[in-house]
Amino acid sequence: MSLPNPSIRRPDVIVIGTGAAGAVLAKELSTQGLKVVAMEMGSFQKTRHFDQDELMAMHPASNNHDHPNIYRHDQPNTYRQTDGDQAVEDHGIHMQSTVGGSTLHYTGISWRLHENDFRERSLFGDLDGADVQDWPIDYWDLEHYYEKAEYEIGISGLAGANPFDPPRRRPYPMPPVPRTSSGALADMAAQKLGWHSYPAPLAINSREYGGRPPVMNCGFCESYVCTIGARSSMLVTMIPRALRTGNCQIRADACVREIVVDEDGRAEGVIYLDKDLREHRLEARAVIVCCNGVHTPRLLLMSKSNLFPDGLANSSGKVGKHLMFNYYQSARGFFEKDLNEYKGVMDSRIIQDFYDPDPDKYGFFGGGVLEPRGDGETISFANLNMPRLRRWGARRKKWIMDNYTRYMVALTSMQSMSQESNTIDLDPDVKDKWGLPVPRVTYNVHPNEHRLGDFFRDRARELLDAAGAHGIVASPNFVPHGDAHLMGTCRMGNDPATSVVNKFNQAHDVDNLFIVDGSSFVTSGKSNPTLTIQALAFRCADYIITQMARLNIR
């Protein structure tokens, strides 16, 4: 099936980025009759261009990031721990830059934030050294849009199974996908421990939905692009629906280097570079930035002008500040019998019993979740660093043979503290292939993260132990250089002096500029931000349409 991709020369709206938020906005706005051009710095691939190839997916060459089968088209970045350090080149920021973005390869876990996530400052108070704030919206501002995202995109799950879930008006559109071996063991362990294991809500079809087939449990799941389109990625859901309206053009291999403003300080359009580094200019009535929590602030900071000498929409000075990931810890356990985790989805069960424990009782702020899982990666497994086992020789070989089908991982994912000193800015020295400054990550953990890490590492061990695992190996505390969950760098708020966008994802400084992605998050949640990003995008689309109708946006 070939879809139209019309050439639109005078769009109403330019959307920059075609991932979780950009694709939703392109689809919603084009469906309402607005002319949309969606820009993507990477290429436009079809699902058939991707392959079940661990070497290219997981261990790509650092000089070969344009290979379509690589999930981590890591755009280069640099990293330093504190702002006194010299930043060095790093590959910690994980993102896929092809049309559809990282939804092409993500695990697909799609839960709603809880009511408490939006008001942690009010509930739990301040935390020394952190900048925890309430969101300017609450759960009920997003409830309808969560539901819309679940149905329009296609989420499988079991309503009512998680006693900690926030209220919802409708069940999931599809039942859960088949339980994996690690999911079954998690069920058993959770029941022993008095915890509540429930089927992971996943952006993966469990039955035919949206003209796409159900999961086939092939095991090439997270980090791989689904070759049959069972994962509800943007490439097979929102993008084709946007194109089918005839009102949307995807302009791929187009790297926006600046958002330009007119003399009144309103966004006029963009300047972008094509594959051959030729410069183009495109104008529109509104510009929406959906480039993720790292590349959105980078683009704004590159868009300097007389009116915005410190970067576009940055009168508050908060663009690029408050960078958050989701801190994580894990333990790996081994079993006497086969699990065969090379079959099935990555993660079929979740445990939220420690989602927001009382700080006074537990001695740390915030909480986290357990996401027991397995994978079928052979090369990574063979190269695993194991205590008291050399990387080579007959014993290593025997260990690989005996254990490849017999392990699971208790991943725990938790909150990162919002800190103003964790930032994205422009690296003064290093340039990317377009000749533009790469994003510089400055990131250090808050001591609270290590307290959380200690607590959740113990829970991971406990889960594996209750499941009957032996030889449990846990990860040490660490300082992340990056992550796939990129949040906080254009935070949402009511006060233009302390936030970048208002509660409708509209820039405080520029009324026809919208910023929708993880960067608007005020707090990080415990993990898996994508469904919330998508809900924010559906909501922002409604807002833009009402504003356009009222001519508030010319």
Token couple for 124:
């739990």
CB closer to other proteins out of 192 and 450: 192
Site string for other proteins, 198-227 (x = CB under 8 A): x----------------xxxxxx------x
81-to-16, 298, 506, 533 alpha-carbon distances in Å:
29, 18, 31, 27
CB closer to other proteins out of 44 and 195: 195
Q: How far is the CB of 455 from other proteins (least distance, A)?
A: 25
Q: Does 281 interact with other proteins (rule: CB under 8 A)? A: no
Q: Please, which residues have CB within 8 angstroms of residue 401's CB and are 6 or more apart in sequence?
A: none
CB closer to other proteins out of 91 and 343: 343
Binding range to other proteins, per CB under 8 A, among 126-134, 238-246, 385-393, 480-488? 385-393
Give the one residue of 179, 251, 481, 526 binding other proteins; rule: CB under 8 A: 179
303-to-77, 165, 494, 511, 548 alpha-carbon distances in Å:
18, 41, 24, 16, 25
Binding range to other proteins, per CB under 8 A, among 37-45, 187-195, 481-489, 514-522? 187-195
Give, as ranges, the residues between 386 and 415 that touch other proteins (CB under 8 A).
390-394, 396-398, 400-401, 404-405
- 244 phi, psi to nearest 5 deg: -65, -20
- 500 phi, psi to nearest 5 deg: -100, -40
Q: How far is the CB of 547 from other proteins (least distance, A)?
A: 10
Site string for other proteins, 464-503 (x = CB under 8 A): ----------------------------------------
Q: How far is the CB of 542 from other proteins (least distance, A)?
A: 4
Q: Does 184 interact with other proteins (rule: CB under 8 A)? A: yes
Binding range to other proteins, per CB under 8 A, among 177-185, 255-263, 319-327, 416-424? 177-185
| 16 three-state secondary structure | strand
Could you tell me which of 326, 376, 363, 385 has the C-alpha nearest to residue 455? 363
H runs (alpha helix) in 215-284 = 238-244
Helix axes 530-549, 20-31, angle to 10 degrees: 30
Q: How far is the CB of 382 from other proteins (least distance, A)?
A: 4
CB closer to other proteins out of 122 and 380: 380
Binding range to other proteins, per CB under 8 A, among 36-44, 89-97, 175-183, 243-251? 175-183
Residue 447: count of CB within 10 angstroms of its CB: 13
Integer Cα distance of 277 and 279 in angstroms: 6
What pairing do the DSSP bridges indicate for beta strands 470-474 and 368-373?
Answer: unpaired
Give, as ranges, the residues between 132 and 171 that touch other proteins (CB under 8 A).
140-141, 143-144, 158-161, 167-171
523-to-420, 422, 438, 520 alpha-carbon distances in Å:
12, 13, 25, 9
CB closer to other proteins out of 178 and 437: 178
Q: How far is the CB of 270 from other proteins (least distance, A)?
A: 26
CB closer to other proteins out of 334 and 362: 334
Q: Does 373 interact with other proteins (rule: CB under 8 A)? A: no
Binding range to other proteins, per CB under 8 A, among 124-132, 176-184, 238-246, 486-494? 176-184
Strand order, beta sheet including 248-251: 248-251, 36-39, 13-16, 286-289, 513-515
Cβ–Cβ < 8 Å for 382, 470: no
Give the one residue of 3, 33, 48, 55 binding other proteins; rule: CB under 8 A: 55
Give the one residue of 344, 482, 493, 525 binding other proteins; rule: CB under 8 A: 344
CB closer to other proteins out of 159 and 497: 159
Give, as ranges, the residues between 57 and 96 that touch other proteins (CB under 8 A).
59-64
Q: How far is the CB of 467 from other proteins (least distance, A)?
A: 9
CA angle 435, 439, 440 (to 5 degrees): 125
Binding range to other proteins, per CB under 8 A, among 127-135, 313-321, 340-348, 442-450? 340-348
Q: DSSP class of residue 301?
A: H
Give, as ranges, the residues between 503 and 522 that touch other proteins (CB under 8 A).
504
Cβ–Cβ < 8 Å for 356, 365: no
Q: Does 56 interact with other proteins (rule: CB under 8 A)? A: yes
Cβ–Cβ < 8 Å for 193, 372: no
Could you tell me which of 237, 228, 153, 163 has the C-alpha nearest to residue 198? 163
Cβ–Cβ < 8 Å for 372, 459: no
- The footprint of other proteins on this chain (CB under 8 A) covers a number of residues equal to 75
